Each structure stands twice: as structure tokens, then as C-alpha cells.
Amino acid sequence: MSISTKRVSPSGPPGASILIIGEAPGYDEDKEGKPFVGKSGEILNMVLARHGIDRDSCRVTNICNYRPANNDFKLLEGTPQLAEGIFDVTEYIQKYASRTKLIILCGERPLNYILKKYGISKYRGSVYRRGETLYAVVPHPAATLYDPTTYPIFAHDIGKALAYVKSGYKTPLHDFRVYGGGIEAEDVLDEILQAPKIAIDIEAIKKSSHILCCGVAVSETKAYCFYNEERVGQGISSGFRRVLERLAEHPYKIFHNGLYDLEMFRLNGVDMDMQWDTMIAQHVMEPEMPRGLDHLTTIYTDEPYYKDKGKDSIPEDEKGWSAKVDKINLYEYNQIDCIVTYQVAIKQDAEMDDVDRAMFDYEMSMVPVSRHISQSGMLVDEERRELLGKIIKVDLNKRQLLLNNLCGRVVNVNGKIVLRDVLYNQFKLPVKSARSKAGTKVTTKEDAIVELIAYAKNEMERYKTPEKKFEWTKILGALKLILIMRGLLKLHGSYIKFSISTDGRVRCSYGIAATETGRWNSYKYVDGTGLNAQTFPREKLEYD
């Protein structure tokens, strides 16, 4: 049976000031007939108690009152059970709207069906006001069982929501202004330069040095956006350059991941420095926690999730702006970035102790070092690069012919469909699966190939007849070839076929606030050229 026939009814007094909504009953809930029991319930109760809230004083329910098999919520979609649950929850919210002060949405499904938003990892930590009721989005407590590192985030989000009930919540106010360059910006720039601190952020075309706009916050509510009037590929306008040059004069500039912004300014002919980086500050204060601005926004500000603003037209597999983006949304997004960066920096500065501050000062002193290494780059021997590329291609061609012969067909080692067919239908190897956000899927990734190699070795040793040994020898050889060829393709794509700067040098960006241990990382240069210079392979390439 895919869905339990046992209804798990809500618990707690009707009309309670706090309503908690989960997804669907799990094993313990189905067994006891009560929502949020078992280990996930214990976590929820513990966090509520820490803030002086008795769980029994809250109304607790789920978006569906029936447990799906294996806790697979997809089995509930389109069913009468789910429709009934959504109806019951919606009706309850309407009936007790005047008495419910806070509704805590635990997990993806309440977020989907109550707020019509999608992506719990994005929206968690956000609070919305609907009439007199606050809606707080938090991870499901069961998530902390699978990944204990998420517990502090869950606990923070619950505490943040309960604090709003006590102190009151006000929708964040924004005072935004948009300007081009030129004379109209001069008076505004004079005002900006008089502010004690400013937070700066740019928006740029992905994989290019073209800046679309630059935002500046002068307080926790007031920001400006200056846009570049030149078309993509034409650099920056003289008026926009003037804006950047004036901003560079300010003695205290705040950025988030400012290494990117500073290099983009330099590529456009403007030299700028920074005095505070919120990503570096977070790395010093809480190195084990996320450091993205979206996360810091939920920790230090009242701003709900906004990172999708203006990105409706951008494909999901892209992460940057395009020239066709709606400019109004772009400029507002840019200014919100500046506002929250300013707010985060102020809170971080107030919370930082002496030890953290000393480490912060040290990491900030590494900014010029990082920039110098990035700017210097490495001269590329094009003749040698071409030779290495030919060697790899010859090796790949030889191995491809051998693999095709072993499989009796042409096999693309990175082709998921054909590879699944070869491994699991033709070779009849045990199917390997991997979990993802979309669910459990059959996989042909490297880990699966490694496991199948071990399996093939055992089978080859287990059989005694020459025919069976030969069969498993062929399979083992094909699996090893797949792994080797993937490595060669990655080697060619990442370390041979990379793009270089116009001066013949290859560059990369270095992250100071990269790891818990303080080790730097590296990745492509800000304009999309280059490669990760810290992971050059050291194996020899042999050729005839």
C-alpha cells in the first residue's frame, strides 16, 4: 500500500498563537497517531523549549495527514488525501487568522502549498507578514538527522521567528534611487562620500568583464544604483567611470566577496580597495557555516529571500546576468544586495571579539596578495599546450577503439543513457543508484564505476571456466577504460583547452574565505577565462 490508511490528526489547542505545519507523517507519527513525534519531534520540542515555548501550547499539523510509503511525498501528489490536508490547513488558517500570531512552515511542502514558493534551501530563514500573521520558513527538523551541521540553522530560524512574535516584525523599508552617469550623479556622489561607511556591489554579465551597474548603500535602508550606459562589449561609459572613480575615494568601503568586484573594477580601468568584506568576516567568525550573502541575509537581517528577483528569464543552469535582463528588477536587486551587505557588516563588526578581529585583520591583509597573484597569472607555452592536446587526443582515440571493440558498439563514456544501457542491460551489472534532490536515480558516476570494477574483479576470480573468466576480463577492461577515458577528457577540458587572457597569460581567482581550515581555493578568473591553478595534475603523459 503506497499511502497509509491511518489519519494522523493535528495536536494542540485550536486557535493557538503558534501554528506549526510539517509535510506528512513519518513512521513514528503514523504509529503513535500524533504529528512531530520521534527524533524529529524531539528536536522541534527542544528548540521551542529553549525559547520558553511549550510544544503542547502550539497547534501542530502536517500539510497531509497520511503517511506515504517510505516517506516519499511524491506518492501523495494528486491524491484525495493531500487535497484534504491542504483544504483542512487552509480552512484552519482562515478560521483562526485573528488568533494565530505565527505560522512556522517546516520543510518544502508547506512552503509550496501555503506560500506558493519553491526551494526550502533558498527561502529558509525568511519571514513574511500576511495580515496580522507572520509566516516563518524553516527547514524540517528531520533534515538535521540526515545532516547534523544544519541543526544550528534550524535552531536559528525558529528563534528568529519567535523573537519577531515578542518584539514585532516590520517589513523591511527601502529608499532606492537609480542614476546614470554624468552631471545628475555629481550631487548624489557628494552625499555618498560624506557617509561614514558605504557598501558597494556590482552586477555584471556572466563570463565577461562588462559591468551592468554598481550599487551603493549609505545606510541600512538607503541605497543608490548607477548604471553603465554602454552596450555589452563596449566597456564602460565616461559617466559611469566617473562614478566608480569617485566611489574609490571613500575611506571605508564594504563588500561581500569583494575580490570579485575589485578585479572587475580593475579590468575596467578603476583601482579600488576595501576595508570590510562580509564573506571574510563570516569565515573568521563561523568558518563551519555557509558564507554566501543569501545565508548571511537570513542570519543578520529582516530581509526575506530576494535572490530570484529579476532572474525569471535566466535558465536554471546559468548563474549570471545576461544583456536581456529586465533592468528595473536588476537595479532593485543590486540595491538590496548593497543594503543587506551594509546591515551584515554592521552586525558583524558589533559581534566580533578581539581574537576574531585579529584574524580578520590578517585575512584582509591577504587581499592585496591574492589580487597580485591573480593579476600576474602564468605565461602559457602555446606550442607545448598544442602538443599535449594532441597526445591526449591520440591516446583517447586508441582507447575509444578498444572500448568500442569490447562493448561491440560505439560508447560515449560521458553519455548517461548509452552507458546505463551498456552497464546494466548489456553487461547485466548490479544497478547503482544515487540520491539527489530529484530523488533516487540510476547512476554511472565515477563512484559507481569504481564499485563495479571491484565487483567485476570478484566475479573474475570466482569463476573457473575460461569462457567466464574471459567474459569478466572484457567487462573489467571496459570499466577501467571508461574511468581512464573520463580522466583524460577532464584533463583535456580543464587543463589543456582553457581560455587565456589577451596577453598570453592564464589567470585564476583565489578565495581567501574558502575553507574551514583557512586554506585558500582557486577557480576561474573573474572574466570567465583561466582555470583552477591549485589542482594542476602531475602525472606524466607518454607518447610514441
Q: At 377, which amino acid appears?
A: G
Clarify whether residues 288 and 334 are in a common domain.
yes
Q: Based on the domain organization, do 396 and 338 belong to the same domain? A: no
In a domain, 514, yes or no: no
Residue 116 region, left (φ>0) first, then alpha (ψ -120 to 50), else beta?
Answer: left
- Flag whether 515 is in a domain: no
Residue with cell 550623479: 185
Closest of 253, 228, 257 to residue 243, by C-alpha: 228
Q: Please report whether residue 530 resides in a domain.
A: no
Beta carbons within 8 Å of 40's beta carbon, 6+ residues apart: 26, 140, 141, 142, 144, 145
Q: Are residues 62 and 23 in contact, defined by beta-carbon separation less than 8 angstroms?
A: yes
Residues 146 and 209 in one domain: no
Asked if residue 225 lies in contact with residue 335, where contact means CB atoms within 8 angstroms, the answer is yes
The reply to whether 245 and 360 lie within a common domain is yes
DSSP annotation of 422 reads I
Q: Is residue 521 part of a domain?
A: no
Helix (H, G, I), strand (E, B) or coil at 230: coil
**DSSP letter for each residue of 271-284:** ----SEEHHHHHHH
Q: Domains in the chain: how many in total?
A: 3
Q: Cell 529582516 sits at which residue?
A: 302
Amino acid identity of residue 272, one-letter, is M
Which one of 353, 376, 399 terminates a domain?
A: 376
* CA torsion through residues 500, 506, 507, 508, sign: positive
On whether both 293 and 414 belong to a single domain, the answer is no
Residues 6+ apart with CB under 8 A from 409: 422
Give the separation between CA 366 and CA 104, rounded to whole angstroms. 42
Give residue 324's domain range.
175-376
Same domain, 80 and 139: yes
CA distance 392 to 41: 56
CB 250 within 8 A of CB 198: yes
Residue where one domain finishes, among candidates 334, 360, 376: 376
Whether 117 is covered by a domain: the verdict is yes
| Backbone dihedral angles phi then psi of residue 271, each to the nearest 5 degrees | -95, 130
Q: What is residue 319's predicted lDDT score, i.e. its pLDDT?
A: 54
Give the contacts of 372 (CB within 8 A, at least 6 positions apart).
none
**DSSP result, 460-485:** HHH--SHHHHHHHHHHHHHHHHHHHH
Same domain, 127 and 187: no
- Distance (Å, whole) CA 214 – CA 198: 12
> How far is the C-alpha of 508 from the C-alpha of 532, rounded, in Å?
6
CA neighbours within 13 Å on the CB side: how many for 526?
24
Which residue from 103, 102, 107, 111 is spatially nearest to 150, judged by alpha carbons? Answer: 107
Q: Does a structural domain hold residue 118?
A: yes
151 and 294 share a domain? no
Looking at the DSSP assignment, which residues form a beta bridge with residue 505? 379
What's the CATH code of the domain at 200?
3.30.420.10
Q: Is 364 in the same domain as 386? A: no
324 CB burial (10 A radius; 0-12, 13-18, 19+): exposed
CA distances from 376 to 121, 386, 506, 509 (A): 38, 23, 9, 11
**Per residue of the chain (544 residues), what is the pLDDT tens digit?**
689 999 999 999 999 999 999 999 999 999 999 999 999 999 999 999 999 999 999 999 999 999 999 889 999 999 999 999 999 999 999 999 999 999 999 999 999 999 999 999 999 999 999 999 999 999 999 999 988 989 999 999 999 999 999 988 888 989 999 998 777 788 899 999 999 999 999 999 988 999 999 999 999 999 999 999 888 878 899 999 999 999 999 999 999 999 999 999 999 999 999 999 999 999 999 999 999 999 999 999 999 999 988 665 554 444 567 777 788 899 999 999 999 999 999 999 999 999 999 999 999 999 999 999 999 999 999 999 999 999 999 999 999 999 999 999 999 999 999 999 999 999 999 999 887 655 678 999 999 999 999 999 999 988 889 899 999 999 999 999 999 999 999 999 999 999 999 899 999 999 999 888 889 999 999 999 999 988 888 777 766 5
**CB-CB contact of 224 with 188 (8 Å):** yes
Closest CA to 122 of 139, 106, 110: 139
CATH of the domain at 388: 1.20.1060.10
Q: Are residues 436 and 461 in the same domain?
A: yes
421's enclosing H/E stretch is none
Query: Is residue 540 in a domain?
Result: no
Contact 96, 86 (CB under 8 A): no
- In this structure, are 222 and 335 located in the same domain? yes
Q: Select from 144, 167, 190 the last residue of a domain.
A: 167
The CATH number linked to 54 is 3.40.470.10
Q: Are residues 205 and 334 in the same domain?
A: yes
502 inside domain: no
Give the burial string for 39-57 (b: 16+ CB within 10 Å, else e). ebbebbbebbeeeebebee
User: Which CA distances in Å does 33 have to 7, 12, 29, 36?
Assistant: 7, 13, 5, 10
pLDDT at 515: 87
